Structure 1
Amino acid sequence: MPILKQPKKREPLWREWDIKAQKEGIRAPVYSVSGDVYTGEWRNNKKEGKGTQMWKKRGCIYDGDWKEDLRHGFGTYSVKRGDGYMKKYAGGWKNDMRHGYGTNFYSEDEYYEGEWYAGKRSGWGRMYYADGSLYEGEWYNDQKNGRGLIKLSNSNRYEGMWRDDMKNGDGKFLYLDKGQVYTGTWVDDIAKCGCVEDFGREGAPDPPVYPIPECSLQYPRSVIQEARDSLQQ
């Protein structure tokens, strides 16, 4: 006796439409009402994996990794310029913010490469400025904080401690154009106490007319130490 096949049960129409509307895997470009468009991978109706997002009104584009609708992993963020796009940032992301190691371009002549935390320069990094100067050292909360070196366009440089984007603490400023060096303590970018000595004066391009006279104090180091202690208090 032949076995009769049971007719296949059909899902309700609303259920079929709902299944088709779910975003999963790689899909064709998805457009929003504002004109934004995303092309890439999805998981559970959220951007996840590799993808490219273009924001129409903001005039910018992101190409890289996603996790739960947020930029997360490695990616490149670019802004519209003329008929094309200019790279603004390339590097690590976490929870839609710059995080990890990356390079941020502020202009054609000014950029930062180094570590980021929650969208701000934090950790070790190198900042190239438009005037030709360079800072290399520690950062925290988007400012120079910790130990670092800044080299000016005339090759003069400061090596020492920083706080809130200013020289604060012990440091050494080398005036290579004059052939002198200042070693001492700084407070909010101002040298408060220390000593100045000749340093490579013979080979300096613009040395002072007269050398620095010899200090006649009996205990110069003690005087400087007392001044440093008062500043720390």
Structure 2
Amino acid sequence: MPIVKYPRATEPLWHEWDRKAQKCGLRHTVYAVNGDQYTGEWLDNLKHGKGTQVWKCTGAIYSGDWKFGKRDGYGSYSIPDPVTKEYKKVYTGWWKNDQKCGYGVTFYAGRKRYEGEWSGGLRSGWGRMYYPDGSIYEGQWLENKPNGQGMLRLPNENRYEGGWKGGKKHGPGKFFYLDKGQLFEGIWAADIPKCGILIDFGRDEAPAPTQYPIPKVIAWNFVLVC
């Protein structure tokens, strides 16, 4: 019986076209249907490596590291000023899985600035926040709020050092009234001092001391407040 040789099955032509269209390694510029633009490196048809993304609807730009289609690594995110149209940085730092993660600096409206750690796109860890009125908070954060141990310094140099919870003073802490030359040391709950001791602290050199000094008791000047 003669042996019949059938022609070897060939790969569909569209497979070859698709393989040629794959973007891998080299830099390419690709425009999305909605007008977004990406210029950078690719891997298996995904943004991977160094690249720049421009969002058409907001004009925002991200330039930095990518990993399998998501911002991952070090990069900066900028938006155009609504008046001047000039670009201003919003965030510069580390990213993971398309969210701020690790150390980074964020610039907010009204001259607010945060420098510190992030997790899952939220301020978490150690960080320093600069407020428009000149106040500075430096310490621990959890999910965008001061939480743990931290110090808040006010524009007049008065400061609080101690515990925080959910963005409010909570637990043992000290409040230095440098303008009056006094120190309050006690316990706070939800921003309210519940119990503590008020001590004259360099009152004679203070720029605005209280009218009456705290009377001396043994070796300390204090008033018990509960």
Could you tell me the TM-score, scaled by structure 1's length? 0.86
Q: Deviations over 1:43-93 (max 9, x none)?
A: 001000000000010221100000010000000001111332110000010
1 CA distance for matches of 2:68 and 2:25?
13
Query: RMSD of aligned C-alpha atoms?
Result: 2.0
Residue 171 in 1 paired to residue 190 in 2? no
Q: Which residue of 1 aligns with 2:163?
A: 161
**Residue 19 of structure 1: aligned partner:** 19
Q: Which amino acid aligns with 1:54?
A: V
* Bigger mean CA offset, 176-185 vs 105-114: 105-114
Cα distance in structure 2, aligned partners of 1:117 and 1:15: 42
Residues paired across the two proteins, number? 212
Compute the displacement of 1:148 (Å).
0.4
Name the SS for the 2:14 alignment partner: helix
1:50 alignment counterpart: 50
Q: 2:100 maps to which residue?
A: 98
Distance (Å, rounded) in 1 between the aligned partners of 2:88 and 2:126: 25
SS in 1 for 2:18: helix
Alignment of 1:1-233 (within 5 A): 13-81=13-81, 82-107=84-109, 109-214=111-216
User: Offset at 1:215?
Assistant: 5.3
Provide Cα deviations, 1:30-53, integer angstroms capped at 9, x if missing partner. Answer: 001111000000000100000000
**Aligned letter for 2:139?**
G
Output the CA distance in 2 between the equivalents of 1:144 and 1:46.
Answer: 37
Q: Aligned to 1:25, what secondary structure does the other structure show? A: coil
What runs of 5+ residues in structure 1 fail to find an aligned partner? Answer: 1-9, 228-233
